[in-house]
Amino acid sequence: MSQRPPLSSEAAEHALRMRAAERDRISGDLLDLESHTTYQVLKSATLTDATRRRWAEAQAALATLWSLYDAYRGVLREAEKIRAERSRLGGEQLEALTALLSGPSVVLKAPRRPVEERSLLPPADERLTLDETVLRMDAAFQLATDALTEIDSVWSALLPRLDSAAAALAGARELGDRLGEPVDLSREDADLARLRDVVLADPLGAGHVKQELDALVRRAEGVRADLERALKVKDEYGTRRENLQAALDRVRAAESEARLAHGAVVAKIALPPQARPRSGVPELEAELARLDVAAGGWLERAGRLAELEKRAEEAEARASAAARALHGLLGRRDELRGLLGAIQAKAARTGMVEDPVAMRLYEEARVLLWTAPCDLTRAAAAVDQYKRAIHGGGR
């Protein structure tokens, strides 16, 4: 094997400067890694499962990296010592520098193996050039930083959400205290503590946490919303009760309108018994009285008040719709009367007015429409039958 030609003085000087800069850069990268917040947390964290295995691999890689770096720095220290011996490098110094800077000068000690993996032969150390050492260190560094980045990304995504969930629960408790009705959030507290433990101990195995955390936050926000409504009801109860009483007055007025409409229409239009308007006010008034004297806490009262307000609004809408529908029946009768007259006029134009069948059908429809109370269903069918007879006769 041919011996490597020695470096020139200029090449040796340049190589030393480049390696010194490289050493400083690597040193800075390693210091940045060790000062990284997630790295510091991982050093003292109690990890489990996938994260424990991944970080153990990263730590092994870092241990190898530091061994390589110590050996690498040792070679550079030896080279710098040789360079400092003389102001002008002689042949002997250049040969030594060439061996250190270009040859396999970095010795990586063979790892100590468990007894079951040993042999009686001496373990073989590995010899690397400086370039090979840097490549080996870079591979170890990348393995460690990849693990660090993956773990950090999970923590960066989930830890703030855990803090937000804790804040939501604290806010709900504070609202409960203001309301004077402490709420039971023990289930949510236990779930939050469990999820936080999972995220801290095994972030790489915490894929299910986001969904559970979202559900927890929704529950906390739901409790908070209920408490906020209850506080608002507590503050506004007098006003809202007055408004509800006014709403019941509007229901009475709408139901009175519906009863008047029924009285006016029932004499002219045949109506089924179920068409008679029924009042919902007594039931609503009774519920309001129970709300005043027998309500539970403000959380319960808020829900019942909102429900009662909704029922009053719906009762008013039903009564108004019933009145409109009843008045519409008279309009429908008048519409059928007008249609019957128009059909008769067409019968006169087409020579069908004296047709015995047409005359009979016309009379049946007329009697139904001018009889009180009018059966609108039968009258509409009679008008339609007369219309078909006239249209058919005209063809």
Helix (H/G/I), strand (E/B), else coil: 37: helix
CB 301 within 8 A of CB 231: no
Q: Inform me whether the pLDDT recorded for 302 exceeds 90.
A: no
What pLDDT, on the 0 to 100 scale, is given for residue 141? Answer: 94
pLDDT at 138: 94
Query: Residue 231 to residues 46, 305, 323: CA-CA distances in angstroms?
Result: 43, 13, 38
- Report the pLDDT value the prediction gives residue 136, as an integer from 0 to 100: 93
- Three-state DSSP class for 304? helix
The candidate with the shortest Cα–Cα distance to 221, out of 194, 181, 185, is 185
Q: If pLDDT is split at 50, 70 and 90, which confidence band does 395 have?
A: very low
What are the DSSP calls for 168-199, one per residue?
HHHHHHHHHHHHT-----HHHHHHHHHHHHHH
Q: For 44-96, what is each residue's pLDDT tens digit?
A: 889 999 999 999 999 999 999 999 999 999 999 999 898 888 777 778 888 88
Q: In the chain, what percentage of residues exceed pLDDT 70?
A: 94
Q: State yes or no: pLDDT of 289 exceeds 50.
A: yes
